[in-house]
Structure 1
Amino acid sequence: MRFGRVLALAAATSLALAGCAGGGSSSSGDGSTLKIGFMGDLTGENSGIVIPPRNGAQLAIDEYNATNPKTKIELKPYDSQGKPDQATSLITTAIGSDKITALIGPAFSGESKAIGGQLEQNKIPSVSPSATNPGLAKNNWAYWHRVVANDDDQGPKIAEFLIKAKSPKTAFVLSDDQEYSVGLADAFEKTLKGAGVTVQRDKFPKDAPDYSSTVQKVKAANPDIITFGGYYAQGGPLLKQLRDGGVKAVFATGDGSLDPQLVSGAGAAAAEGAVIGCPCNIPDASTPSEFSTKYKQKFNVDPAIYATEGYDAATAIINAVKAGNTTGETINNFLKTADFKGVSKQIKFKANGEPETNAIYVYQVVSGAIKNLGASTEAKITG
């Protein structure tokens, strides 16, 4: 997400928070309860990407608590609305007053970058189900982890899929100015140019009132394909305006736009044929798995983007607690050894917190619905 200003309060309180390093627990009957935070956009413009992993995490924790363990877990939500400055303020409260022991999230990349230093200083392990910016793994954070492939995997594999499917000679790479968006667009551009595709690029402000200037540039270029780095809140209206402007090129984007609101934001006709990549494999509703059945029973909806990753991120922390680890430091040590079959993939972390598994899946809007075409190396585009 967009870089917000980092609150001065964060720096002023960092030493005080250090005294709370590793979080704490509260008494609960014969045992105790650990507070685990979940941070992300729960009510903002891109909450459709974050509510499913929050639900997945809640499902895992509720199942664990139902076994009546010695140490129970309370999932405490922090609604950042995906804004880095809001996340910075919230994590101060989460560590200082609420005394969380670990964090699932942050969901987006900009907020992850904004608070990673505070988590590190206070020895609060985090596992993100959905933040994909490559730079997050390059901060030497020992307490940071994610269960999804990054945009250096996602961007190239989406681009490679398009090159194989459409043999483009020209491409236009678009993005807004958010952290995630620019990173994904960079990956698109690098891969396309490396394959000999002629690339033009345009970037617009996240809160641009319209995209007419961008549409004019793309129409004039008449590219074979368009790739967009960004979230569905911007992607839907952008795609609508491109189609209204007469641009017919294949439109492809990444996980930030993998939500039905991309279709509703563009209109079904404009969205038809759009390609969406994601380091997530959403369960097919037509063949329910054990996870999707439990998820639908609890939340009355089918699992969506990153629901399985939210479940797996929570499970990694739950497994640490099951093994008797109740401080941030000991949970983090346990995460270094994690290796289990999750519902999304095998969960195992590299030394820098990256996941060992980096498969990318391709989706396409077909007859107004988002259809899973399979892994990028095997998927076949429609139309």
Structure 2
Amino acid sequence: MAMAVAAGCGGGSDSGDGDTVKIGLLASLSGTYEAVGTEQRKGFELYLDTHDNKLGGQKVELSVGDEGDGPPTAVPAATKLVKKDKVDVLTGIVANGSYKAVLPLVEQAKIPLVSSNGRPEVKNVDRLWHTAFLSDEPGAAIAEHVKEEVDGPVYAIGPDYQGGYDELRGFTETFKKAGGKLANPDGKTKWTPFPKTTNFMPYFADIAKSGAKAVYCFYAGKAAIDFAKQYAQSDVADLPLYTAFVTEGSVLPAQGKAAKGIYSVLNYSADLDNEANRKFVADWSAKHDTPPTTYAMASYDAASVLDKAIAEASKGGKEVTPDTINKAIDGLGKIESPRGSWEFGKTHSPVQKWYLRQVRPDGKQLANVMVQDLATLGD
């Protein structure tokens, strides 16, 4: 459990006095993506810590559920948050599979979902809001740059589950449209069984035989550590490695020198120079020993969105309900964020800038250093 304090307004809540905004945070606090979910929790809690435990001037009761490794654990945890805790808003969620599995609960309860990691394609977004990115966007953002930089075919590889399919589709489709050619023998992405693949060496041997001039992949959590360490020891270690998320967060110190030189595409870098990021980094650094991540930033922004929406919904002493929060989110406009300013597009996900980063020495440590802007995506 995170913080639980009183006062505010609640539409879907059943607190007896009707004066608490109840927020449910669902994140992977165990399993493969524990590092990602933990960052989401820390980011949301940081916003509350630096805003007197209030959103929109109303005090908050935050309930936390463990998503674990996907639907088998995510659905029971979400069910508790929605049906027992009766939250007014749900936030967080790491995996696309969890997102899809939890969606019927959110739709039945008619509460807003302000998710903060990759999101799959969905048709009806009336109550669905997203502060991170659509899952095919990272690959799409870097594909043309890879085509321009690499003189030859690129090998695409990723985990065999929904998030991997989405992430790699964004890269391969955009790369091919730009005139790029995949080095994969059949012209299709190589899928590694998830989560059981821990030995990537056989795959690297195949890459070495393919004639690839570079590699593009998506991995996160423990798989990212295994992939990066083994890549550096493999026969393809001299090939440029372009990634989404492989070096993001607490996995980077675990990867050590093996991560040096790896390129990544993300919507955030801790060294971005803007006022919102300077404050975010300072507040984060006062509590944590490692730099903030895109996972923490997106969850921090989810709290920021709710802060602004609840303030708008409660103007004039009006009752704050899931419906009025949802309506207020729809009218927010520009959000000033550590990533740079952004706004919700037609899909209720961010219209935002993407950045190329590379793992380079930063003082005595390795860090993801911003290299250049890539593209602005969203609609």
Q: Is the CA contact (8 Å cut-off) linking 2:198 and 2:226 kept in structure 1?
A: no
Alignment partner of 2:214 out of 225, 237, 260: 225
Structure 1 counterpart of 2:169, one-letter code: D
Picking from 266, 273, 276, the partner of 2:261 is 273
Rate the CA distance shift 1:168–1:183 in 2: closer, same or farther, 3 A: farther
- The Cα of 1:26 is off from its aligned counterpart by 2.2
Structure 1, 187-196 or 301-310: larger mean CA deviation: 301-310
Report the Cα distance in structure 2 between the residues aligned to 1:40 and 1:92, rounded to whole angstroms: 13
Please point out which of 243, 247, 251 is paired with 1:261: 251
Residue 331 of structure 2 is aligned with which of 327, 337, 344? 337
**Partners of 1:45 and 1:154 in 2: CA distance:** 21
The share of aligned pairs that are identical, in percent, is 22
1:108·1:180 contact (CA, 8 Å) conserved in 2? yes
Give the corresponding residue for 2:103.
Answer: 116
Matched, 1:159 2:143: yes
Does residue 143 of structure 1 match 2:127? Answer: yes
> Is contact 2:247-2:259 (8 Å) kept?
no
Matching residue's letter, 2:141: K
Matched, 1:371 2:365: no
Q: How far apart are residue 27 of structure 1 and its match?
A: 5.4
Is 1:186 paired with 2:174?
no
Cα offset for 1:113? 1.6
Q: Distance in 2 between matches of 1:350 and 1:161?
A: 24
CA offsets, 1:270-315, max 9 Å, x none? 3221111112233459x97122222222445542233232222112
* CA root-mean-square deviation: 2.8
- Taking the TM superposition and a 5 Å limit, the aligned residue runs for 1:161-310 are 161-164=145-148, 166-199=149-182, 200=184, 201-206=189-194, 207-247=196-236, 248-255=238-245, 257-262=247-252, 264-265=254-255, 267-268=256-257, 270-283=258-271, 289-299=278-288, 301-310=290-299
1:359 is aligned to 2:353: yes
Aligned partner letter, 1:197: G
Equivalent-residue separation in structure 2 for 1:225 and 1:191 (angstroms)? 16
For the structure 1 residues 347 and 102, does the alpha-carbon distance in structure 2 shift closer, same or farther, using more than 3 Å as the test? Answer: farther
Measure, in 1, the Cα distance between the counterparts of 2:372 and 2:133: 13
Q: Distance in 2 between matches of 1:73 and 1:66?
A: 6
Q: 1:71 to 1:182 in 2, by over 3 A?
A: same
Matches within 5 A, 1:43-62: 43-62=30-49
Cα pair distance change 1:176/1:67, threshold 3 Å: closer
Q: Distance in 1 between matches of 2:286 and 2:232?
A: 39
Residues 236 and 263 in structure 1, CA contact (< 8 A), matched pair in contact too? no
Cα distance change of structure 1 residues 116 and 216 upon mapping to structure 2, 3 Å threshold = same
Instruction: Give 1:375 deviation, angstroms.
Output: 4.2
Q: CA shift at 1:140, angstroms?
A: 1.1
TM-score (normalised: structure 1) = 0.82
Q: Which of 342, 350, 367 is equivalent to 2:345?
A: 350
1:41-97 CA distances to partner (integer Å, 9 max, x unpaired)?
A: 123332322323322211222344457987411221112124222111111111111
For residues 91 and 170 of structure 1, the distance between their equivalents in structure 2, rounded to whole angstroms, comes to 43
Letter of the 1:239 counterpart: A
Equivalence for 2:3: none
- Number of residue pairs matched by the alignment: 349
> How much has 1:319 moved relative to structure 2?
2.2
**Alignment check: 8 A CA contact 1:316 1:335 kept:** yes
CA distance in 2, matches of 1:256, 1:40: 19
Separation in 2, partners of 1:350, 1:40: 24
Structure 1 position 370, deviation (Å): 2.4
SS of residue in 1 equivalent to 2:110: coil
**CA shift at 1:256, angstroms?**
5.7
